[in-house]
Amino acid sequence: MVQNVVIIGAGPAGLLLAHYLLRRGNYHIDIYERRPDPRLADVSGNRTFPLSLQERGRKAIRAIVGLEEAIAAQSVFCQGTIIYQKKGKSRRLPRQNPVLTIDRNRLVTVLLKQLTETSSPNQVKVHFNCECTAVDGTAKTVIFKPSEGDSFTVHYDLLVGADGARSQIREYLVENAGLPCSQNYVPDAYKSVFLSLLNPNAAVELEPNKIHAWNLNNKTRMVMVPQPGDQLNGVIVFDAETNPLEGLSTKEEVKTFFEENFPLFGQLMSLEEAEALLKRPVARVLTVRCDRFHEGDSVLLIGDAAHAVSPSIGQGCNSSLEDVLILGQLLEQYGDDWGKVLPHFSEQRVPDAHALQELSNYSFPRTKFLMVEFFLRLTMGRLFHRWFPRLVKPFVFDLVLDTDLSYSQVLSLNQGWIHKVKRSMAQNS
């Protein structure tokens, strides 16, 4: 029997799930997204951000034939990170296994293109500019309001909330199904920044296969990630209460701010980008912690809708894609019996999601003293792991990025370090 699956949210998790279900052959899938189609809209100036796909995210993508290759063709492979300082030498963090960096909008476009090219409209339909306004779990219906025209109602056998940190589906479960859930803003805010990788006039050219980071102080930092075509996409991150850009009113002032505080990035910033940056909205990151990711046998939460985390260690998208991989394994194990699949998904995934929140909040220190210890532990961990691979595990960062060890296991192996960072943050807050 063909089941009707309604997926709310055409982001990476929702689109990858459609790929997985399509492969199984007994589903009709409708995907609804409140934003416009990224293939048609000009998204260059929109709020977007770079993603780094590591082993756990890439493993999920690899399960669909040809998908990793299509994404890689639109990505840059980065062999490590360079951390700059205003005074003193830059610090290099090489990577043995490269990460695949891609802008979020570009990743969504590739996933959409592959989905529409490998399926017929009878199997999958993607509806843009449609906002979910109401859910009736008893009747198994959803009401949508398109940007033009009248509201309409859709019936589902399975409803999937892949609609991000501010999920409508999760809110429905909180209000109507007693879902325990807490939401918090991280202390940081950010603005997207778009630069060129080189400025011939200033004789500045950054390495095209490295992520470039600059810590101004323990409250303000920048991360810039290479993209195809000599572009750098990234963010300036700052304390939400003390926005360093707030007092700036002209493009010249913005450019001067970056030249004085992030000299290399300032030389790569055009006046056009400085002006665009002034107008760009300040964004906040909302974290989400739920005690289960399903309701009965017909409603499921995945990705940020279930477990949005701080982007500090780059696991939001990777964990969302891994959700889909684990769902695929459970569908195989229980023969598409959603009454068994959904509770087992919550049972397996909730502890990992809670562990990931701890890792995202407390893996990376903010104080200079602990930063020195962080790099020492990272270097020594790599060295000893190379010498005694069975006895010594790599440090927390490498375990998260280079393995698909569960987040719960990574947290367990690094509990001492996490507690130390947590204590230092409490003392400095």
Any domain includes 388:
yes
Quick one: 35 and 144 in the same domain? Answer: yes
Helix (H) or strand (E) holding 92: strand 91-103
pLDDT for 349: 97
Cα separations in angstroms, 79 against 68, 114, 225, 367, 403? 18, 27, 12, 26, 16
C-beta of residue 363 within 8 angstroms of C-beta of residue 322: no
Any domain includes 367:
no
pLDDT for 429: 63
Any domain includes 141:
yes
Quick one: 339 and 402 in the same domain? Answer: no
Domain boundary among 284, 314, 337: 284
Q: How many CA atoms lie within 13 A of 328 on its CB side?
A: 23
CATH number at residue 333: 3.50.50.60
pLDDT for 209: 93
pLDDT for 342: 98
Enumerate the β-bridge partners of residue 76.
101
pLDDT for 391: 82
Domain boundary among 360, 392, 419: 360
Quick one: 122 and 190 in the same domain? Answer: no
Range of the domain at 199: 80-101+185-284
Domain boundary among 234, 264, 284: 284
| Burial 321-334, CB ≥16 within 10 A → b, else e | bbbbbbbbebbeee
pLDDT for 45: 52
Quick one: 30 and 123 in the same domain? Answer: yes
pLDDT tens string, the chain, 429 residues long: the values are: 789 999 999 999 999 999 999 999 899 999 999 999 988 876 555 556 789 999 999 999 999 999 999 999 999 999 989 989 877 688 888 888 899 999 898 999 999 999 999 888 889 999 999 999 999 999 999 999 999 999 999 999 999 999 999 999 999 999 999 999 999 998 889 999 999 998 888 888 999 999 999 988 768 999 999 998 889 999 999 999 989 999 899 999 999 999 999 999 999 999 999 999 999 999 999 999 999 999 999 999 999 999 999 888 889 999 999 999 999 999 999 999 999 999 999 999 999 999 999 999 888 887 777 878 888 888 888 788 778 878 878 888 888 888 888 999 999 999 988 999 888 877 776
pLDDT for 42: 61
Any domain includes 227:
yes
Quick one: 410 and 353 in the same domain? Answer: no
Quick one: 214 and 266 in the same domain? Answer: yes
Q: How many CA atoms lie within 13 A of 18 on its CB side?
A: 33
Token digits of residue 373? 């210890």
Quick one: 169 and 309 in the same domain? Answer: yes
Enumerate the β-bridge partners of residue 29.
5, 124
CA distance 187 to 238: 8
C-beta of residue 51 within 8 angstroms of C-beta of residue 107: yes
CA distance 347 to 227: 38
Any domain includes 365:
no
Give residues with Cβ within 8 angstroms of 56, minimum separation 6: 318, 319, 321, 322, 325, 403, 404
Token digits of residue 202? 């200033």
Any domain includes 71:
yes
Please state whether the predicted TM-score (pTM) of the whole model is above 0.95. Answer: no
**Helices (H), ranges, 153-311:** 168-176, 251-261, 263-268, 271-279, 304-307
